[in-house]
Structure 1
Amino acid sequence: MVTYGSRGDVEPMTGLAVRLRALGAEVRVCAPPDFAELLNDVDVPLSPVGWPIRALATGAIPGKAKAGLSDIAAELTAMAYEAVAGVAEGCAAVVATGSFPALAGTRTAAEKLGVPYVFTSFSPCYLPSPHHPPLRRPGQVIPPEVTGNRGLWDLHAEHMEALFGDTINTHRASIGLPPVSGVRDHVFTGHPFLAADPVLGPWQETPELDVTQTGAWIRPDERPLPAGLEAFLAAGAKPVYVGFGSMPMRGANAQEVSRAVIEAVRTQNRRVLLGSGWADLALIDDRDDCFVVGEVNQQALFRRVAAVVHHGGAGTTTTAARAGAPQVIVPQVADQPYWAGRVTELGIGAGHDGPTPTAESLPAVLEIALAPETGARAAVVAETVRTDGAEQAAKLLLDMIGRSGSALSAG
């Protein structure tokens, strides 16, 4: 199993790894070195790949502070290839997700070793479909002659080819493999897995792509909440949780964001629970209506809060929905605007306009999330969220492997 990404990319793979092991399979995970402790806790071996992801995301690696994904593509492709080629020989399958250059290196390694390869997406919006457009790139200008979703996805494929085609094919040539055309579809394959809940992130069937939607890959978390957090929760009414996970909130000052979100929640006469995360949220005063936590069992915590304000990662969205907690999503990048839209459409919360919450902008969406009808709707949707996605995916994989793996490696 391979991913190069943040906690939101690694946690679902851990959920699948645990289920595969329970069914008797041997599992190894290639992931950034940041997640050694997470994988060690579930006794799954880690093969580190690439730079520490938090250091890369926050600009702490020399020479990479201003590098975009296309700028580091060649290095990351080679890193993923070397990591996977070093451990995957003789494996029954390689399951991969995460950043595109790492995926390309992973597929190349699997091809070189003759091991079946399965691409997985955690969000429907990443997969080409006539039913929805691709994610809009920052600053992207759509030519006026390009209309309709199919045309937009064709443009997306051209963009991916321009960004990564030469890099991927140069690497393939260096290890004796022929070039490929259409690198996006080569990496995504024609038979991807979609590890998203069918209610939260539904897939509409299309003849262009044979998608297997398993449900989200959830790892049951049995950790108790810290004693200090338990004491805070017991000391008053349910707080509003605010945390942005693995988002460093670039371009925004941590102290300013902390002040904005705390003041906004206080306007609703609610207590505040901050998840420090990569945004480094922190207390702004010594009032007892606010508490800060680090990495914590969100599955247990979100059942005990009035609402969850977060960045809109697929995993956090699913965890909050499963807990029946109304949501406010402050989308930063990637698929996060998609999840903000889904939460709004389902009536279980609201999306914030723009990536930077302020004391002026946040109260309006908080009012929506804290309204009684939103809470009631969130409770109804919570009952529909599937919890068996990892088990379903594990069984499918083992069944495919048992049938010689031909279904896994088909284009």
Structure 2
Amino acid sequence: MRVLLSTYGSRGDVEPLVALAVQLRALGAEVRVCAPPDEAFAQRLADVGVPLVPVGPSARKLTKAAPAPSSLPQRAAALIAAQFEVITEAAEGCDAVVATGMVPAAAGALSVAEKLGIASVSVTFQQLTLPSPHRAPLAYPGRPFPPEVTDNRVLWDLDARSINALFGEALNTNRVAHGLPPVDDVRDYVVGGRPWLATDPVLDPWRETPGLDVVQTGAWILPDERPLPDELVAFLDAGTPPVYVGFGSMPMHASADVAQVAVEAVRAQGRRAVVARGWADLDLIDDQDDCFLVGEVSHRALFGKVAAVVHHGGAGTTMAAARAGAPQVVVPQATDQPYWAGRVAELGVGAAHDGPAPTFESLSAALGTALARGTRARAAVVADAIRTDGAAVAAKLLLDAISRPRTAGRGQAPLTA
């Protein structure tokens, strides 16, 4: 069997597909991944022997450029066109397409699967894109919801209108050009009736919602057996457990002096620090020996050795820290990150920072919560409850579904795992 995994987004959108690809190959499937052409993504996939089919512009360059919200429809149109061009060729001969990432990218990938008559499944790595009366949707940049509207059902209707306004014309122009009928509701087309939610049910519990048959597989995690660099190991062994500070794929535009603030707040707690460079290009603030700068390292190997993890609240980093039993301070920047910050606080495994720009005072207070003895004890309890088999579950569901006769659904041939 041959499977195409498609996404467009940051590291948090690519890494789960690496885990799924490895599990699919272990079951005998041939796998390729369509993702942004960033060198880090290509290397990550090469490390596990999976080919990258590059699509769209560099995700890192786009993120660091911080384009204006008003340019979103134009950027989405280019991305949708690229999906049709690249995935049409990459998916030839495949038995299934797994589509995730930004809505326009997923819509393009699913449309190509429909055009080719290939089975497909829509996957999300956080439930905030799934319409539910139990929570409000995320507002798109430049399109805030009216503050007087508080009914979640009305907000989800407004969300559907925003998505259609932002992406509908570009999607349908490409669909019609490729012999497909236009779609009336872009979000409903992408979500479908049976989406997969690749998150842990402890961290991200799904509540049943009429009309939406969600398959929650558990988070897709690749066991990362890479050893830590010798210099980092020596630093860890030279003193008490440090606090990790890193913001992943976030450029941290809201806080230019975030490294200074973070290191000073960590030192005020009597702790050392491990600072991750990331897409924010963080650096050490001085030459004192109580701080260590790292690039790309195994979170699995590192997080079990730190006193706390200060991060942006990406789904993958939140999950990695939770698995390690490490207390967390989440400084959310955008999209789903405030949600993950809230979940960390609700579970009692850390603190949710109020807003994207920490000060010495605000981060010190959050660290005080995270470093409390009770927080670490609670984090250990939650760690024991986290599932680690999500990618294996998803791989088996996918291949089992491919093997069964399919029924017609939203236009393409949706899987019925």
The TM-score, its normalising length taken from structure 1, stands at 0.95
User: By how many angstroms is 1:71 displaced?
Assistant: 2.7
Q: Is 1:70 matched with 2:76?
A: no
AA partner of residue 101 (structure 1):
P
Residue matched to 1:232:
235
Residue matched to 2:51:
45
1:369-388 maps to which residues of 2 (within 5 A)? Answer: 369-388=370-389
User: By how many angstroms is 1:144 displaced?
Assistant: 6.7
User: By how many angstroms is 1:225 displaced?
Assistant: 0.1
User: By how many angstroms is 1:164 displaced?
Assistant: 1.1
AA partner of residue 57 (structure 1):
T
Measured against aligned partners, the alpha-carbon deviations of 1:177-203 in whole angstroms (never above 9, x if no partner) come to: 111101111012111100000000011
AA partner of residue 398 (structure 2):
L
Measured against aligned partners, the alpha-carbon deviations of 1:27-72 in whole angstroms (never above 9, x if no partner) come to: 1100111111111110011111111111111129xxx688743231
Measured against aligned partners, the alpha-carbon deviations of 1:91-111 in whole angstroms (never above 9, x if no partner) come to: 111001111111111111111
Unaligned runs of 5+ in 1: none
Q: Distance in 1 between matches of 2:142 and 2:346?
A: 26
Q: Is 1:328 matched with 2:329?
A: yes
Q: Distance in 2 between matches of 1:394 and 1:221?
A: 18
Q: Is 1:191 matched with 2:185?
A: no
Q: 3-state SS of the aligned residue for 1:361?
A: helix
CA-based RMSD:
1.7
Question: Contact (CA 8 Å) 2:164, 2:187: kept in 1 or not?
Answer: yes
Q: Distance in 2 between matches of 1:58 and 1:159?
A: 25
Q: Distance in 1 between matches of 2:142 and 2:266?
A: 32
Q: Distance in 1 between matches of 2:232 and 2:101?
A: 32
AA partner of residue 10 (structure 1):
V
Q: Distance in 2 between matches of 1:25 and 1:168?
A: 30
User: By how many angstroms is 1:139 displaced?
Assistant: 5.9
Q: Distance in 1 between matches of 2:149 and 2:260?
A: 43
Q: 3-state SS of the aligned residue for 1:27?
A: strand
1:71-150 maps to which residues of 2 (within 5 A)? Answer: 71-138=74-141, 140-143=143-146, 146-150=149-153
User: By how many angstroms is 1:131 displaced?
Assistant: 1.2
1:164-183 maps to which residues of 2 (within 5 A)? Answer: 164-183=167-186
State which of 243, 246, 250 in structure 1 corresponds to 2:246.
243
The number of equivalent residue pairs is 406
Question: Contact (CA 8 Å) 1:58, 1:65: kept in 2 or not?
Answer: no
AA partner of residue 36 (structure 2):
P
Percent identical pairs in the alignment equals: 63
Q: Distance in 2 between matches of 1:145 and 1:306?
A: 42
Question: Contact (CA 8 Å) 1:96, 1:120: kept in 2 or not?
Answer: yes
Measured against aligned partners, the alpha-carbon deviations of 1:249-273 in whole angstroms (never above 9, x if no partner) come to: 12432xx111110001111010011
AA partner of residue 16 (structure 1):
L
Q: Distance in 1 between matches of 2:106 and 2:302?
A: 33
Q: Distance in 2 between matches of 1:285 and 1:405?
A: 61
Residue matched to 2:224:
221
Q: Is 1:409 matched with 2:414?
A: yes
Residue matched to 2:22:
18
Q: Distance in 1 between matches of 2:44 and 2:144?
A: 41
